[in-house]
């Protein structure tokens, strides 16, 4: 009887500790993040997004203001994330590795198009949420 009771308690504890297997919402972000032009709110929005990186599947981030150091601004946020990740053990809490986030940052317009196409055509059953922070305009890209 004691064995059965212990076995039943083990099963109940095992099931109660299982996390939900629901898929995380998939997001793809276009941002007019920059350093030398505009408001700092886009940098703040990226940091805010990273606070929830354990609850989202971030498929790509496109800094469409490459002419205003958009890539550098994104990398600054990821560097801060990397520092905090190491200090606070983000990996053990379900957050993505800093290297993964740097790798999903589009390097130029062509890379952004390919990344968005790949995310949209991935064949997953979950929807892809495309977030646009700022205006959509043709970039005057100076970086390759």
List the domain boundaries for the chain: 25-133
Q: What is the tens place of the pLDDT at every residue in 11-42? A: 444 444 444 457 899 999 998 888 876 667 87
DSSP string, 10-78: HHHHHHHHPPP-PPPPEEEEEE---SSSS-THHHHHHHHHHHTTTTSEEEEEEE--GGGTHHHHHHHHH
Q: What is the tens place of the pLDDT at every residue in 59-75? A: 999 987 777 788 888 89
User: What is the model's pTM?
Assistant: 0.75
* Sign of CA pseudo-dihedral 53, 56, 62, 63: negative
């Amino acid at each position: 009887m004691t064995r059965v009771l212990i076995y039943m308690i083990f099963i109940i504890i095992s099931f109660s500790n299982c996390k939900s297997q629901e898929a995380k919402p998939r997001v793809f972000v276009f941002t007019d993040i920059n350093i030398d032009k505009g408001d700092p709110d886009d940098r703040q929005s990226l940091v805010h997004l990273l606070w929830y990186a354990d609850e989202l599947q971030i498929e790509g981030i496109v800094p469409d203001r490459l002419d205003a150091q958009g890539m550098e601004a994104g990398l600054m946020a990821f560097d801060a994330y990397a520092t905090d990740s190491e200090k606070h053990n983000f990996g053990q809490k379900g957050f993505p590795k800093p290297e993964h986030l740097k790798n999903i940052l589009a390097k130029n317009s062509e890379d952004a198009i390919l990344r968005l196409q790949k995310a949209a055509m991935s064949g997953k059953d979950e929807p892809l949420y495309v977030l646009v922070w700022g205006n959509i305009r043709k970039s005057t890209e100076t970086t390759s």
